[in-house]
């Protein structure tokens, strides 16, 4: 964007023509002599005045005495708008306010008027005050039609935002705007507004959980760090890292990247994992952490979703925080981080996620009890401080960091390979399949392993011989006489014993 401004400035070959021949704009307060062309500007006492309807400050041309006529041209639009920083900072109207406010902090505009509004504003302030009008300029792109073309009423491709605002709310629309990268045009995607609505609802539901689980507020005394649970220390440290990254992005006006940081942490780390990991608890460490992270997330989301965050702050945090609005409250301050607990907590999170997915695949509710859980393998020792939360989250009988004694694999089922059986046995294929199903898996697997084939007696009394590739042996994991489930957890192995 800076290069575009530099290229435009370097390409200029003549002075800026400040007049335009249009019907509607700001009139130029000048009269011209009809005889000699001498211009007569309005007096300071007259300004501001339209010369086409108001008399000139003198009755005739001061040079030749000719008749004066008001100029019908109007100012170029950018002649007016280029002075907005001076007008907004009370230039020549309030010296104290002007000294306090000028130069302005930020100019926000789109990329199409870099060569006009941005250039003319910079030029005018350099000529008038030898100063830049603002410290920084933020350039946005256009919102295009869904197919990526510009919206035009004549083309019938204009998106009316009002129905979507009515359906999903202003905060959802603001989410979409914040998710657009500065300086780039974006084809409008209604699904992003829909997602913004879901994010509003997610934040609201998080606040309701905090209200039920962490109140009443304020929480006193704040637990010393030695009494914080390992899972709490993990999420607080992870939250602190997110605050640092999001704040850095916001200070650089990279709203889309900040939004992704905040949303990713809120939805996945905090809601999907931490909240599930502490639902079984009710202690000061958990309550303090829910309050601290919940308040911090509400503040972080406030610039993007000002309405729902104000409502949450008013209902949940205002009294404990001393009143006021969330939009005048302090920004969340990062706390000291602990990389070691972040690493360990991420391991515990992943183990719980694996076991939650396993329970779902087995048709088990998350709150349904399971038996003993064994975890062993690379980095399993990192889970030591998190065992109680792993146990409580999964409703496990117990969680042990050890390999169960007597763990073994044994045949569980013989599965006929029909594409191999059919071409060989043809009409008798179904009888062969039935005969395989009647075999004892363990004994049949042993015979198959030693001889490479199996002899079968079919229902009609005839004999059949099947080769090794005509049957697949499915194995089961056992500890003693009990069947166990093996859940793959990366480099860790997770064994779940029966809940009976």
Is residue 479 within 8 A of residue 407, CB to CB? The reply is yes
Specify the pLDDT at position 491. 80
Mean pLDDT within 309-334: 93
Does residue 41 have a pLDDT over 90? yes
Mean pLDDT for the chain overall: 91
Residues 457-473: tens digit of each pLDDT: 898 888 999 898 999 99
pLDDT of 248: 96
Residue 395 gets the label, from left (phi > 0), alpha (psi -120 to 50) or beta, of left
Q: What is the mean pLDDT of residues 324-336?
A: 93
CATH of region 190-337: 1.10.730.10
- Dump pLDDT digits (tens) for 377-395: 888 999 999 999 999 999 9
Query: In terms of pTM, does the model score above 0.85?
Result: no
Phi-psi region of 103 (alpha: psi -120 to 50; beta: other; left: phi over 0): beta
CA–CA separation, 98 and 85 (whole Å): 10
Assign 413 to helix, strand or coil.
Answer: strand
pLDDT of residue 335: 87
Say how far apart CA 191 and CA 189 lie, in whole Å: 5
- Spatial strand order in the sheet of 482-489: 396-400, 370-377, 492-496, 482-489, 471-479, 407-416
Are the C-beta atoms of residues 348 and 392 closer than 8 Å to each other?
no
Q: Which residues contact residue 256 at a Cβ distance below 8 angstroms, ignoring those fewer than 6 apart?
A: 178, 179, 180, 181, 182
Residue 499 pLDDT greater than 70, yes or no: no
Give the pLDDT confidence score for residue 204 in this predicted structure. 97
Q: What is the pLDDT of residue 226?
A: 66
Residue 55 φ/ψ, nearest 5 degrees: -75, 155
Name the token pair of 382: 């990192």
Q: Which of 66, 70, 69, 68 is nearest to 28 (CA)?
A: 70
In this structure, the number of other CB atoms found within 10 A of the CB of residue 296 comes to 24
Neighbours of 134 (CB within 10 A): 19
* From the candidate CATH numbers 3.20.20, 3.30.70, 3.30.410, 3.30.720, the one assigned to the domain spanning 407-479: 3.30.720
**Which residues lie below 8 Å from residue 373, measured CB to CB, with a gap of 6+?**
355, 390, 391, 394, 396, 397, 398, 399, 400, 494, 495, 496, 497
- 413: tokens are 């089922």
Q: Which residues have CB under 8 Å from 286's CB, separation 6+?
A: 213, 214, 229, 232, 278
Q: What is the mean pLDDT of residues 33-54?
A: 93
Express each pLDDT in 119-177 by its tens digit.
999 999 999 999 999 999 999 989 898 988 899 989 889 988 899 999 999 999 999 99
DSSP 228-243: S-HHHHHHHHHHHHHH
Classify domain 2-140 by CATH number: 3.40.50.620
- Residue 100 is predicted with a pLDDT of 96
* Confidence (pLDDT) at 4: 86
Question: Looking up tokens 């507020």, which residue turns up?
Answer: 217
pLDDT at 24 exceeding the cut of 60 = yes
Q: Where are the beta strands (DSSP E) in 157-258?
A: 186-187
The pair of three-digit structure tokens given for residue 276, joined into one six-digit string: 């599930």
The torsion angles phi and psi of 165, rounded to 5 degrees, stand at -65, -40
- How far apart CA 320 and CA 216 sit, in angstroms, is 9
Burial 204-217 (b: 16+ CB within 10 A, else e): eebbeebbebbeeb
220 confidence band (pLDDT: 50, 70, 90) = low
Q: What is the pLDDT of residue 299?
A: 97
Long-range contacts of 437-442 (CB under 8 A, 24+ apart): 439/414, 441/411, 441/412, 441/413, 441/414, 441/473, 442/410, 442/411
The residue ranking higher by pLDDT, 28 or 490, is: 28
Residue 126 token pair? 């350099």
Q: For residue 66, is pLDDT > 90?
A: yes
Would you state the pLDDT for residue 54?
A: 94
Instruction: Tell me which residue of 294, 288, 326 sits closest to 310, measured CA to CA.
Output: 326
Pseudo-torsion of CA 456, 462, 467, 468, nearest 10°? -10
pLDDT band at 8 (very low <50, low <70, confident <90, very high): confident
């Amino acid at each position: 964007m800076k290069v575009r401004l530099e290229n435009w400035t370097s390409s200029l070959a003549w002075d800026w023509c400040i007049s335009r021949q249009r019907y509607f704009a700001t009139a130029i307060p000048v009269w011209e002599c009809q005889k000699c062309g001498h211009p007569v500007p309005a007096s300071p006492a007259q300004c501001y005045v339209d010369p086409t309807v108001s008399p000139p400050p003198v009755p005739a041309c001061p040079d030749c005495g000719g008749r004066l006529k008001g100029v019908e041209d109007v100012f170029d639009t950018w002649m007016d708008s280029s002075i907005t920083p001076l007008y907004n900072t009370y230039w020549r109207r309030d010296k104290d306010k002007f000294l306090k406010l000028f130069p302005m902090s930020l100019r926000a505009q789109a990329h199409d008027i870099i060569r006009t509004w941005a250039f003319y504003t910079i030029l005018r302030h350099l000529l008038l005050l030898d100063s830049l009008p603002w410290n920084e300029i933020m350039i946005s792109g256009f919102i295009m039609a869904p197919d990526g073309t510009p919206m035009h009423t004549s083309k019938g491709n204009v998106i009316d935002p009002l129905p979507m605002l009515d359906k999903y709310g202003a905060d959802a629309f603001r989410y979409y705007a914040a998710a657009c990268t500065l300086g780039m045009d974006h084809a409008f995607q209604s699904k992003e507004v829909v997602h913004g609505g879901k994010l509003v609802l997610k934040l609201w539901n998080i606040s309701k959980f905090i209200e039920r689980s962490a109140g009443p507020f304020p929480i006193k005394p704040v637990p010393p760090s030695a009494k914080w649970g390992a899972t709490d220390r993990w999420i607080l440290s992870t939250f602190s890292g997110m605050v640092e990254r999001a704040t850095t992005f916001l200070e650089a006006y990279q709203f889309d990247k900040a939004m992704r940081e905040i949303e990713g942490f809120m939805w996945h780390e905090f809601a999907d994992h931490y909240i599930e990991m502490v639902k079984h608890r009710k202690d000061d460490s958990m309550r303090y952490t829910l309050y601290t992270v919940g308040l911090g997330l509400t503040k972080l989301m406030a610039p993007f979703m000002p309405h729902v965050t104000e409502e949450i702050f008013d209902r949940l945090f205002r009294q404990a925080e001393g009143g006021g609005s969330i939009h005048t409250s302090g920004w969340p301050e990062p706390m000291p981080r602990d990389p070691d607990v972040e690493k360990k907590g991420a391991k515990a999170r992943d183990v719980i996620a694996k076991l939650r997915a396993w329970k779902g695949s087995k048709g088990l509710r998350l709150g349904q009890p399971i038996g003993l859980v064994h975890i062993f393998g690379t980095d399993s020792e990192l889970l030591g401080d998190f065992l109680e939360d792993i146990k409580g989250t999964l409703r496990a009988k117990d969680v042990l960091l050890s390999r169960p004694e007597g763990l073994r694999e044994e045949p569980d089922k013989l599965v006929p390979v029909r594409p191999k059986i059919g071409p060989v046995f043809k009409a008798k294929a179904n009888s062969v399949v039935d005969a395989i199903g009647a075999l004892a898996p363990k004994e049949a697997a042993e015979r198959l392993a030693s001889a490479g084939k199996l002899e079968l007696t079919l229902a009609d009394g005839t004999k059949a011989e099947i080769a090794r590739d005509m049957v697949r042996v499915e194995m089961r994991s056992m500890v003693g006489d009990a069947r166990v489930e093996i859940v793959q957890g990366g480099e860790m192995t997770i064994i779940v014993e029966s809940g009976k």
